[in-house]
Structure 1
């Protein structure tokens, strides 16, 4: 796939590595190498690109400060040595978040994500959005079927062949796999980790790569981060 991109990074060695990786593994056009955000903004006033490789820790204007100033159609692949900005990065048109030093294996995985983002089904042809699940459900507790309100569930936590269902007042073990729960449950519940499905309606905050819900701090893994942050973006003012 032929895509147009630029690199924005104040570290020459990091720029050189990305340039080599792009040349050796893709058919993309690298239109420019910008060593600060202001240089990049000037370039983007005159040229259209499909996406950018954007460092976060730069002088004068950081990558996070530059991101909201970019053209809305420009997608971003963040490249940084700092993992704590990963969740925040998906508030923008982010395709991937690469941690330095970038390995060939990780870069190849990123190329697949990037090209998939530009070959995705148009929004008008996408499958219908999931509708709200039923307001209540039953779980087996001993010999009893317990009725629970879905809105009261904070999160589901996978524990081998069991799932721990947690509300503000109790915890119940269910003899199910988390994957089975995921297939049945719908928004506002979302998978954020191999071990967790959370109720986004009851989140208290999102900070760094963690979410806070009830008295629990739950990690957001890279595998599920983009989908989770897309849901969060819909509710940002």
Structure 2
């Protein structure tokens, strides 16, 4: 793997901090900023809108699930109705993103209404 493609540097208060893509749990929009929630580290406030980060992160690993949220697919633990769980965090699954999100996974068993 090319080292430049598995990480990024994010401005955090007074310096650029290295963040591996695998550390990012989810991103949460906050007007023209967003919060980058990280595994085993405090979240970072990023001075960019979610749409800009969406374009810069690998689409194979990250996907938009709501107008205000983007998740790292490797950290999704559970899907229940229109809610995604990463650890104890509940993340809404917006209707416009539902089909594309569900298509990224293989589901075993059947639950009425899961797939349309």
The structure richer in helix per residue is 1
* Alignment partner, residue 75 of structure 2: 202
- Distance in 1 of aligned mates of 2:44 and 2:20: 13
1:134 corresponds in structure 2 to 5
- State the 1:181 CA deviation: 0.7
Structure with max Cα Rg: 1
Q: Give the counterpart of 1:232 among 86, 98, 105.
A: 105
Check if 1:222 corresponds to 2:95. yes
Decide whether the 8 Å contact of 1:168 with 1:214 is kept in 2.
no
Structure 2 match to 1:174: 46
Secondary structure in 2 aligned to 1:211?
A: strand
How far apart are residue 178 of structure 1 and its match?
0.3
In structure 1, which of residues 211, 214, 219 is the aligned counterpart of residue 84 of structure 2?
A: 211
Does the Cα contact within 8 Å between 1:163 and 1:173 map onto a contact in 2?
A: yes
Aligned equivalents of 1:185 and 1:149: distance in 2? 11
2:20 maps to what in 1? 149
- Alignment RMSD (CA, Å): 1.4
Alignment of 1:101-116 (within 5 A): none
1:58-137 equivalences in 2 (<5 Å): 134-137=5-8
8 Å contact from structure 1 (residues 206, 212) kept in 2: yes
State how far apart, in whole Å, the 2-side matches of 1:158 and 1:231 are: 22
In structure 1, the gaps of 5 or more residues are: 1-132
Alignment-derived partner of residue 165 in structure 1: 36
Task: Point out the structure with the larger strand share.
Answer: 2
Moved over 6 A (4+): none
8 Å Cα contact 1:154-1:214 kept in structure 2: no
**Partner residue, 1:183:** 55
Name stretches of at least 5 consecutive residues in structure 2 with no aligned partner.
109-116
Number of residue equivalences: 103
